[in-house]
Structures are given as C-alpha cells and as structure tokens.
Structure 1
C-alpha cells in the first residue's frame, strides 16, 4: 500500500503517552524486542522518537529511522539519548551493513512502507537470528484511531508477507485496533 506518512506538523500528537501506550506499552514493546544491553536496534519509522526513547536505555545503539527530516528536527529539540543515531532514510534503502542490526521494530508505521522490497531490505540488515517486531493498525479495526481502514493490513496479510520474505513468526496477537507480530530469522 505505502500510503501517506504522518504529517510532521502534527508531531505533538505522537508524544501523547496516554494515547500511544493504549495500543502498546513500553513494557510489552521491550518484551517483544527482547534486547541485550549491547544490541544494535533500528526503529523503523521512528517519528518523534517516542518509542525509541523507551528502547534506548536497554540497547547498545539505536538507529531512529524516519523518512522525514522534520521528525528528526522535532526529536533533536526534545532531546536525543546519547546512544541514538538519527537516520533520515526510506526503509526500502537502509544505510546499514548486511547483518548489522540485531533487532528492528516498527510501531504504527508498517502500513506506510510494507512491501516485498522493504521486507527484503530489513532481512538484509538483520543479523542471523535477528528479530523484527511489528505493531500496527489492523484492517479489522474501526478506524477511529490511526489511518483509514483501507490503508491498513490484517495480521494475516502481514504474517504472510513476513513468511514469504523468509521470516519465522514467533508470536502473533490481534487486538481490536492493532496487531503485534514478532518474527525472527533463522
């Protein structure tokens, strides 16, 4: 699908903890990503760094990847943790070495970049036994929050795409508005 990106002029909305944690808590995200203190992690579609900030204290280095430089400007003003590197890039062309990332996660952005090419690129940069966590808006949701329903994927569609890209699905949770997938590489 690859529809629109989040409007950077509304970036303040991405900092509303009550709203953001309603769909995935920091604790659940950390559980899903399952980090070691020296791991290198990529937040794919990091926006203002809301969830990047939750992950950073538990990782060695975190790449906050966003296609919009305006989101990085917002993050700089907010304050970027020392171990976070801001990367302005499309997820389809990540500037990382093959196998250079131990884990990657996407919170509410998969619908913006999902494609076979992007999943191949994520697979390229993930290390052997690397982990990919996707939390996104479900096409089965009401559309009251998040993007329009017709811009979303179902958990089954995302699971099929990940399997086709060579990932193994370790965990799947489908909620009223969202889904959570944990996928790994062999």
Structure 2
C-alpha cells in the first residue's frame, strides 16, 4: 500500500486545473487549511506547486516540501510566489524545529508518505492545536483517476493513523474518489 512517488516526467498532468479541481477545489482546500495571514505552513508533497499556489495568498510563509528536486524545478519554471520556500525532504525527516509550523496540508500525496514515522514527524513540527488538512485518493474509490486503488488509504485508515499519532479529528468526509481529513495537532 502506498509509498511511491509521482513520475516527474508526467508533471505537466499535475498542472491541469480541470482535472485537479474536480477532486478538491481551491476553496475547499483554503477552508480546510484555515490559515491566518501570518501563519507558517508546509505543503507536504507540493509537487509542481499547483495547490501550494492556492494556499500561499492566505498565509505568511509556505514551505513547499517535496522529496523530488525535479518537482521543485518544474515549480520554479511555473513561477514560485514570494512567500513560498522550496524544501527537498522526506515527510518522515522534515528540517523544521519542534512546533515551528502553524499547520500543514497535503493534497493527493498522503498515500506517498502515510507511515507512522511521517505522522510522528508532522506532530513534532506542527504547533499544538495546529491544523493539518489532508485531501487524498481513497481506497474505497473506483480508481478512475489517481494511483491504483491498492496504493491508497481509506478515510478510516487515515483517521486511525492520525488519531494514533495523538491528533484530534476536526472534520472527515469521504467522496467517490477522494477524502478530506482535517486534524488538530496535540
């Protein structure tokens, strides 16, 4: 289950607004992240920055975290907002101090890093009561888009993983191909 990365050779697909917004809208993501204008956030699995760009105008600083430097290169080609800093790192080994982030979000990448170590690392770097919003492909979907169903997690699996990491679930919804989970850090 899970833990693969997206092929940078296919990165142009990640910038297709019609297909991306079909599964999570900019408005929904901004609502879920619930950022203040001075907040420091991390987009975990930022890729080409498609969804990072939606959140950036609503925050102070956003770290676009991706394990693949090639994705950052693509983001730079598209143009990176002034308040976005690109960080190449695994989610299980984030280069932030304890409680440094006011929140974090992940869009369609949770299945790539959903380990116990990653959840513990998110808990470490996000301040107490900080918001963590996750929109991802669901294992209960038909697999019409996104990764194979066998590589996905269900909403309940994601909820269980975050709760085991001490997070309180503030919102959870499952849709036909995706889920949205909003959790508060302990």
**Per the alignment, in what secondary structure is the counterpart of residue 51 of structure 2?**
helix
- Aligned residues: CA RMSD: 0.7
Instruction: Show CA shifts across 1:141-171 (max 9, x none).
Output: 0111000000001100110110000000000
Q: Which residues in structure 2 correspond to 1:15-54 (within 5 Å)?
A: 15-54=15-54
Question: Matches of 1:49 and 1:43 in 2, distance apart?
Answer: 9
Contact 2:3 2:114 in 1 (8 A): no
1:139 aligns with 2:147: no
Q: Which residues in structure 2 correspond to 1:5-84 (within 5 Å)?
A: 5-84=5-84
Instruction: Show CA shifts across 1:46-84 (max 9, x none).
Output: 000000000111100000000000000001111000000
Counterpart for residue 171 of structure 1:
171
Question: Matches of 1:3 and 1:164 in 2, distance apart?
Answer: 19
Counterpart for residue 162 of structure 1:
162
Counterpart for residue 110 of structure 2:
110
Question: Matches of 2:138 and 2:2 in 1, distance apart?
Answer: 15
Gaps of 5+ in 1: none
Instruction: Give TM-score, length-normalised by structure 1.
Output: 0.98
Contact 2:44 2:66 in 1 (8 A): yes
Instruction: Show CA shifts across 1:3-46 (max 9, x none).
Output: 32010001000000000000111000000000100000100000
**Per the alignment, in what secondary structure is the counterpart of residue 50 of structure 1?**
coil
Shift of 1:2: 3.9
Counterpart for residue 123 of structure 2:
123
Instruction: Give TM-score, length-normalised by structure 2.
Output: 0.98
Gaps of 5+ in 2: none
